[in-house]
Amino acid sequence: MDMPKFSVKRMMNFFLASFVGVIIFASCNQVKQKETLVASKPNIIFIVADDLGFSDIGPYGGNIQTPVLNDFSKEGLLFSNFHVQPTCSPTRSSLLTGNDNHVAGVGIMSEMDYPVLHNKNLPGYSGHLNNQVVTIPELLSENGYHTYMVGKWHLGEGEGMDPFYRGFQEAFALGNGGGSHWSDKRSLAPPQTMTYTRNGKEVNLPEGFYSSTNYTDSLLMFIDRNKADKKPFFAYVSYTAVHDPLHVPAEYIKKYKGKFDMGWDKLRELRINNLIKLGMVPADVKSNPFSGIPKWETLPKEQKAIFARDMEVYAAMLEYLDMSIGRVLDYLKKEGLYDNTMIVFMSDNGANGALSNTYPGNADGKYMNTFDNSMENRGLKNSYVEMGPGWAQASSSPFRMFKSFTTEGGIRAPLIVKMPGKMKNAGQWNRGLAHVTDFMPTILELTGIKYPQQYNGNNIHALIGRSLLPVLNGDSVTVHSGNGIGYELFEMKAYLKDNWKLLRLPQPYGTGQWQLFDIVKDPGETTDLSDKFPAIKQQLIEGWITYSKVNDLYDHNGHYDSLYRLSFKPQNSDD
């Protein structure tokens, strides 16, 4: 049974790394001093989930089994106001460089390039990490660290662009943005291919491959292989779960049978109530779900069953990811590495509400018709299912919209950080503004490494992120007081400053004009305060304009706006 035609008709489409004697003696002393210094530095691990919704995991009010993250959260600081970029590769570019995605080369995702822009050959829109930035592993590897990477790269493929060429000494990586989690390497859409590399060279997958399992296996092998030299390591664990297509071993799916028969409306209500109980959102929080999503109660029984099954698969996939993270933490504890390791867990953006037919190359349905999406095979090999906008909106509770949008549902993400040793604020919530670009300066301050003005002969853009150490040490709530943070992706724009947010969404998702929200009082972005606070709005507009100039943004002149209008189909569409 394929995805019901009803869901395509009545739900909007979403697109959218020689001397002797004295000299030898001096050299030996320098080596010993360096080894002593290196041994005292902490290990660092970034664990990134792919397309995980804000309220999915247990510590954030979720009703999915995540026991590993539940326990981990008691040892770290949890953030309720952490912001990322709207989609996968832009976030990853900012995470690894401490810079805006446009400066890093990912002003757009390569999949969404178009001739006019492509012909301009702008470094900020190359679709891969450029030479205007330096990465965390590049700096750490030059300062005594082992650097490892497993999983999704999505920041360029081939010579010079693979993670092996951007600072990772050991890497097992998927080059593009996603696809099958099994060994068959079936892509998201026909124009794309799934290429896995090991230190820059393409490799084949073993028959029993499953993404979360094999990424974890490779990471533990890398660490174990070099543990005897006592050097610290930096690991970037970039899982592809829970990105579509949703895949997971069958025994995990069975655990969730019937758990989502309540539907997405009730799930959203449940998640919001859980977040209120946690004190993460105001008790009177207003919700602003997208109107293109049909009410659960209006769906026929057969379609409810199919949609419920897809959310069961999503939940099962997340539980398997949680178990896989547990394998990493257990290994660190067994080897005596855990206490001296900084561990970051985060999602790269909001939940993914895109339908499979909106990926470039899938519109005609031919590729999708080659999959077995029968009820009993959904989530297993040779299936292609997604959570869709209904469940994505619930997973993004209490926020508006989801991945791809500069609304809070697209750019606010779960973040838990455990520092080496015991934290005085372990298990507590931080409600101050934090941003994905803050990790590069945080790591540099933690390790005592200086950020360069030049790297490999190239001038390097100054960092825009700020070190989070004052926050992580419990000495400050935020490092961004009075500091503005700008956004733009596919002509969706935003500017954050303290409790204020300036937002511009194209029609029909927004007004096409700037709107003003107080995201502390109104995290659901329901009430435009433009008329009430015109001076604040103008100040933020000027801040965004400055941001756009400093980061060399290109004006798309309505190109993406026109695509949104063409792709939108309201609930009552008969097309």
**CA angle at residue 544 from 539 to 545, to 5 degrees?**
95
Q: Is the Cβ–Cβ distance between 187 and 240 less than 8 Å?
A: no
The catalytic residue among 88, 128, 146, 556 is: 88
Alpha-carbon span 101 to 550, nearest angstrom: 12
Dihedral sign (CA 344, 350, 356, 357): negative
Concatenate the DSSP letters of all residues of 215-237 into one string.
Answer: HHHHHHHHHHHHGGG---EEEEE
Dig out the tokens for 437 from the structure. 């670009």
The 3-class secondary structure across 144-192, one letter per residue, is CCEEEEEEECCCCCCCCCCHHHHCCCEEEEECCCCECCCCCCCECCCCC
The catalytic residue among 83, 102, 146, 154 is: 154
Backbone dihedral angles phi then psi of residue 533, each to the nearest 5 degrees: -130, 65
The answer to whether residue 480 is catalytic is no
Alpha-carbon span 421 to 426, nearest angstrom: 11
List helix spans (H) across 1-125.
5-10, 22-40, 67-73, 88-97, 101-104, 115-118
The 10 Å Cβ neighbour count of residue 221 is 14
H or E element in which residue 539 lies: helix 534-550
Residue partners of 231: CB distance under 8 A and separation at least 6:
38, 39, 144, 145, 146
Concatenate the DSSP letters of all residues of 509-525 into one string.
Answer: TS-SSEEEEETTT-TT-
Alpha-carbon span 416 to 325, nearest angstrom: 13
Residue partners of 364: CB distance under 8 A and separation at least 6:
none
Backbone dihedral angles phi then psi of residue 220, each to the nearest 5 degrees: -65, -35
Chain centroid to CA 511: how far?
A: 27
Chain centroid to CA 170: how far?
A: 22
How far separated are the first and last CA of the chain, in Å rounded?
22
Concatenate the DSSP letters of all residues of 436-490 into one string.
Answer: GGGHHHHHHHHHTPPPPSEETTEE-PPP-----HHHHTTS-S-S-TT--EEEEET
The answer to whether residue 88 is catalytic is yes
List helix spans (H) across 259-400.
264-277, 301-334, 388-395
Q: What is the CA radius of gyration of the chain?
A: 23
Q: Is the Cβ–Cβ distance between 406 and 503 less than 8 Å?
A: yes
The 3-class secondary structure across 363-429, one letter per residue, is CCCCCHHHCCCCHHHCCCCCCCCCCHHHHHHHHCCCCCCCCCCCCHHHHECCEEEECCCCCCCCCCE
Catalytic residue list: 88, 154
